[in-house]
Every structure is written in C-alpha cells, then in structure tokens.
Amino acid sequence: MKRKEIIAGLIGFVVCLIGLFLLNQFKAKSQYNNLDNLRLVNLNDEISKQRMNAIVLAAKKVGPSVVSITVIQTRIISVSPFNDEFFRQFFGDFFPEQRYQQKIKSLGSGVIISTDGYILTNEHVVSNATEINVTLSDARQFKTRIVATDKALDLALLKIEGNNFPYAELGNSEDLMIGEWVIALGNPFGFLLEDTRPTVTVGVVSALNRAIKSTYEERVYKDMIQTDAAINPGNSGGPLANILGQVIGVNTFIFTSSGGSEGVGFARPINVVKKFINETKQFGKIRPPWIGIWIQDTTPEVTEAMGIEKRGVLVSNVDRDSPAQNSGIKEGDRIVEINNEPVNSLSAWDRIIANLFVGDTLHINLYRNNDSLSVKFVIKEYQDASVLGSKLGIYVEDINLYLAKKYGLGYKQGVFVTKVAQGSIGEKLGFAPGDVILRIGETRIKSQDDFKRSVADFKNKYFIIDRGGLIFQIWLQG
C-alpha cells in the first residue's frame, strides 16, 4: 500500500513539474507576442507621423474651404451662310448672319474666406454670368451673388447665405521666398471627376513680381507669383497656400501651348487681394486711385539732352491739383524709389502702381537736377473734374492720367468731350463724347482755359479733333 502511494505521489509531482514548465512557456510566448504587438503599433504610429507631413496637414487645413463654381453664361452666336469673306462682303445684305442666344456652362474654383460665406475667385470665372452656383467640398450647393469684381486685378468677391462655413486663413505674400513649397487647390475639370473634394498639387514658388500677358484674353497681369504647382482648367480662382495652410495667392492662369499644365502657373498675391476685399466690402467696388504723374523711361537720348544720369524714371507731366502736384513733384523730376522699391524703368513703375489703392501712402525718393528729395502723399480717389460748357453745346474736361488710361488717350494735354447737348450746334457739326479737341483755329488747346478763350468768338473757325486715333477737321462758318 505504501509503495503504491509513493509511486502515485511521484507521478503527481512529475505532472506538476510538467504543468509548471508548460505554464511558464506559455507566459513567455505571451509576453513575447505582446512585446511584438507593441513594437508593431509603435512602428505604425511612427510611419503615420512621417506620412502626416506639413504638406498633408496644410492640405487638410485648407481643403474644406475650397469650392467648385458652376457658371451659366448667355452668349450671342453668329452664324453666316458664307465662310468666305469675299462672299460675305457682296452677298451679306441678301443673306444676313443669323444670331441666337446660347447658354454655356463654365467651371472654376474659389475659396471661402469668412465664416459668413464670402468667397474669392477670379473675375474671368464669373464674367457675363446669368447664374452662379457654388458646391462645397461636403457636396452642399448654394446659389451665390456677386458682391464686386475688378477686371484689371481679375478678382471677384462672391457671397453665399448662411453661417459657420469652413474658411481659409489668409497669409502674407510679402515674405514669400523663391523655392519654398506651395500647394495649389481647386477643382480641375469640375464634376467630370464626380467628386466635390478639391484636388491638391504641390510645387514651389518659381519666381515673384512677374508681369505677363494672358494667352487667352487681352489682359496684362503684373506683380504675379509664378509657381510650378500644376494648375489645370477649372483651377482658376482656387487658393495657393503655403505649408502652414495659409492662403498666399489666388490661382489665376497658366502659360501653356498645349492647353494643360506645363509647370508655369501664376497667382495673384494675397496682400493685394486683402486690399481688394476691404475696398469692395466697404464701397462695393474699387474706387479709382489718382496719383497724377505721367512717366517715361530715361532713354540715352533723354539723358544726353537733359544732361542727367540714366537712373530712375522721368516725370514728363503732372496733373493739375493732383496728389502728386500738391506734394511738390514737378515735371523733369527723376523718381528712383517708391516705398523702398527701386524704380529703374517704366515697367517697374507700372508694376508698383498697379497694386495701389485709394488711401495708400506713397514715399517717393527723387532727384531734381542734382538734388535728392523725398516726398510723401496719400493716394486720393479720382473725382470727375469740373466740366466746362460752351455756346456750342459741347462739354469738355481737361485730359489727365486717369482719363488717358481709362479711354486709351495718347495725349497729355488737351480737352476731352464728355457730353454734347442734344440739338446743339456741336451735335449738328458732328462732335461726339470721347472726342479730344486738339486745336481751335491757330490755338493749340491744352486746357479748359484755352478752350474757353477760343470759343468765346467761334465764328469762321476750324476744329482739329482726335476720335479713336483718327484725326478730323471740322469747319464752323459764322
């Protein structure tokens, strides 16, 4: 009996040892598995952190504020039965062109800039629109209205009704560096992709302060950001952002020979856009800025004739009672610097003043003969000057820089016809608004004063006028 008990005890002891051994082995494997799992989790977290770089975070920040813009435009389509100009010239009266209206849908992009639904885009995206619809990245759709547009800047401010919209933070385009990363967001090809979320492309700032003429419209863009981030059809109006997720430009157009992106895109700097936003929100439009300085390049011929150094740009004329004249600037001065930017050519001058608004302050360094001078003045809003009437029923205004640019006038002096009274002598003689009166009799007309003296006795006199580049002579017999 005792022997059996001893054998059973030994067997039980061995079983216990085996059980303890197996238990320890299981625990060890479990610990190893847990450790491996922990290492795998940490590795995945590290990879995720590396994937979540600054560009990804910036795109995630700006993306919800990017919208698709669908525009319905009505255009007049002309159809002629003759393709050849010869047949149109001789048989056009018998078979006139057929004209009809056609609705055309175009697409673009925009970016929400405030929680109450203000949207930035390009003017060319919404020009001639009869209907504008906006689709957010979350697929919500809204009808929108135009707050203001400006063709020269190619900017438009739109508004959708509502609150708590996702919006983008506006950055600073003054401290941009050539070579830094930028992100272009938009909706190329619109709903052809059947997705309302924006497309993201990445590149660098290729150049700054670019001036270029658009290949598809008669627009000259100045002081633009150049980037190689792909901008495709439908991207116009979308944001160009830095890696902080701040909008530093509005994508405007591409330079292309194929119709697609070739790595040469241009964006309007956001600091100019901010001025546009403030101006249009307050006044509903861009108030016309007035400086009053006529400028020309200091060519070798000019410098030799005047005995001056070839530096800066030459003031060739100053508008009467303009901010520039009131600050003391005179004809013959050479402007070498504006707001700490050197000015060595007419193109540099045009680039700087293209982005000036009413209320901006100009600090100008100039030379008068050999003396260095500094002047400062605030740009004012151009107000219609006093219009001078006459017995002829012709109303004229002095030509100034604002009128010259607005109407494409090639004269610095003269009077511009603003109105011709109905049934007046002037109307019967054929005068029309837009005419520039250059001479009356033997008198060269440089101002309203010259005009007033010359028409005091207008018998047996002739008028020399310019109408759109064509010179006319009108005789008045007393």
Lowest mean pLDDT among 158-172, 277-291, 371-385: 371-385
Q: What pLDDT does 201 receive?
A: 87
Per DSSP, which regions of 270-352 are E strands?
Answer: 289-290, 293-297, 313-318, 334-338, 341-342
Q: Which residue has the higher pLDDT, 388 or 426?
A: 426
Query: Which of 312, 330, 319 shows the shortest CA–CA distance to 379?
Result: 319
363 is catalytic: no
Tell me how far apart the alpha carbons of residues 113 and 147 are, in angstroms, rounded to a whole number: 14
Question: If DSSP codes are grouped into helix, strand and coil, which group holds residue 277?
Answer: helix
Predicted TM-score of the model (pTM): 0.69
Query: What is the DSSP code (8-state) at residue 458?
Result: -
Structure confidence by residue, pLDDT tens digits, 11-32: 666 556 666 665 565 555 555 5
| Pairing relationship of beta strands 394-398 and 380-381 according to DSSP bridges | unpaired
Please tell me the number of Cα atoms within 13 Å of 460 on its side-chain side: 0
Structure confidence by residue, pLDDT tens digits, 443-452: 888 888 888 8
Is the fold of 66-159 the same as that of 394-476? no
Q: What pLDDT does 112 receive?
A: 94
Range 211-223 average pLDDT: 71
Tell me how far apart the alpha carbons of residues 266 and 42 are, in angstroms, rounded to a whole number: 43
Residue 381 has pLDDT above 90, yes or no: no
Q: What pLDDT does 114 receive?
A: 93
Lowest mean pLDDT among 6-10, 203-207, 246-250: 6-10
Q: How many residues does the chain have?
A: 478
Residue 261 has pLDDT above 80, yes or no: no
Q: Which residue has the higher pLDDT, 99 or 93?
A: 99
Q: How far apart are the first and last CA of the chain?
A: 161
Pair of tokens at residue 367:
């030379």
Q: Give the percent of the chain with pLDDT over 90.
A: 17
CATH class of 289-381: mainly beta
Domain ranges of the chain: 66-159, 169-277, 289-381, 394-476
Beta-carbon contacts of residue 163 (< 8 Å; ≥ 6 apart): 115, 116, 117
Residue 271 has pLDDT above 90, yes or no: yes
Q: What pLDDT does 71 receive?
A: 85
Q: Which residue has the higher pLDDT, 232 or 262?
A: 232
Question: If DSSP codes are grouped into helix, strand and coil, which group holds residue 414?
Answer: coil
Q: Can you name the residues that pair with 466 across neighbouring β-strands?
A: 436, 471
Tell me how far apart the alpha carbons of residues 366 and 330 are, in angstroms, rounded to a whole number: 10
Structure confidence by residue, pLDDT tens digits, 100-115: 666 777 788 999 999 9
Considering 65, 124, 228, 450, which one is annotated as catalytic?
A: 124
124 is catalytic: yes
Q: What pLDDT does 128 receive?
A: 82
| Pairing relationship of beta strands 313-318 and 334-338 according to DSSP bridges | antiparallel
For residue 166, the tally of other CB atoms under 10 A from its CB is 16
Q: What pLDDT does 320 receive?
A: 81
Residue 458 has pLDDT above 80, yes or no: no
Banded model confidence at residue 127, pLDDT cuts 50, 70, 90? confident
Banded model confidence at residue 242, pLDDT cuts 50, 70, 90? very high
Residue 389 has pLDDT above 70, yes or no: no
Query: Which of 310, 317, 370 shows the shortest CA–CA distance to 345?
Result: 310
Q: What pLDDT does 218 receive?
A: 62
Tell me how far apart the alpha carbons of residues 421 and 443 are, in angstroms, rounded to a whole number: 24
| DSSP annotation string for 331-391 | TT-EEEEETTEE--SHHHHHHHHTT--TT-EEEEEEEETTEEEEEEEE-EE--PPPPB--T
Q: Could you confirm whether domain 169-277 is CATH 3.30.365.10?
A: no
Tell me how far apart the alpha carbons of residues 286 and 147 are, in angstroms, rounded to a whole number: 11
154 is catalytic: yes
Considering 154, 333, 450, 466, which one is annotated as catalytic?
A: 154
Burial of residue 132, with CB atoms counted within 10 A of its CB: 0-12 exposed, 13-18 middle, 19 or more buried? buried
Q: What pLDDT does 113 receive?
A: 94
Residue with tokens 């430009």: 249
Q: What pLDDT does 168 receive?
A: 92
Q: What pLDDT does 363 receive?
A: 92
Q: What pLDDT does 414 receive?
A: 82
For residue 165, the tally of other CB atoms under 10 A from its CB is 20
Q: What pLDDT does 16 receive?
A: 63
Considering 109, 137, 236, 454, which one is annotated as catalytic?
A: 236
Burial of residue 168, with CB atoms counted within 10 A of its CB: 0-12 exposed, 13-18 middle, 19 or more buried? buried
State the average pLDDT for the chain. Answer: 79
Architecture of domain 66-159: Beta Barrel (2.40)
Banded model confidence at residue 66, pLDDT cuts 50, 70, 90? very high
Q: What pLDDT does 39 receive?
A: 58
Query: Which of 272, 254, 114 shows the shortest CA–CA distance to 186?
Result: 254
Range 365-391 average pLDDT: 79
Query: Angle at the Cα of 140 (from 125 to 107), degrees rounded to 5?
Result: 20
Q: Give the percent of the chain with pLDDT over 70.
A: 75
Structure confidence by residue, pLDDT tens digits, 161-206: 989 999 999 999 988 999 999 999 888 765 555 667 788 888 899 9
Residue 303 has pLDDT above 90, yes or no: no
Q: Could you confirm whether domain 394-476 is CATH 3.40.630.40?
A: no
Residue 291 has pLDDT above 80, yes or no: yes
Banded model confidence at residue 346, pLDDT cuts 50, 70, 90? confident
Residue type, 154: D
Tell me how far apart the alpha carbons of residues 364 and 337 are, in angstroms, rounded to a whole number: 6
Longest CA pairwise span in the chain (Å): 161
Residue 137 has pLDDT above 70, yes or no: yes
Tell me how far apart the alpha carbons of residues 280 and 145 are, in angstroms, rounded to a whole number: 14
Burial of residue 349, with CB atoms counted within 10 A of its CB: 0-12 exposed, 13-18 middle, 19 or more buried? buried
Question: If DSSP codes are grouped into helix, strand and coil, which group holds residue 248?
Answer: strand
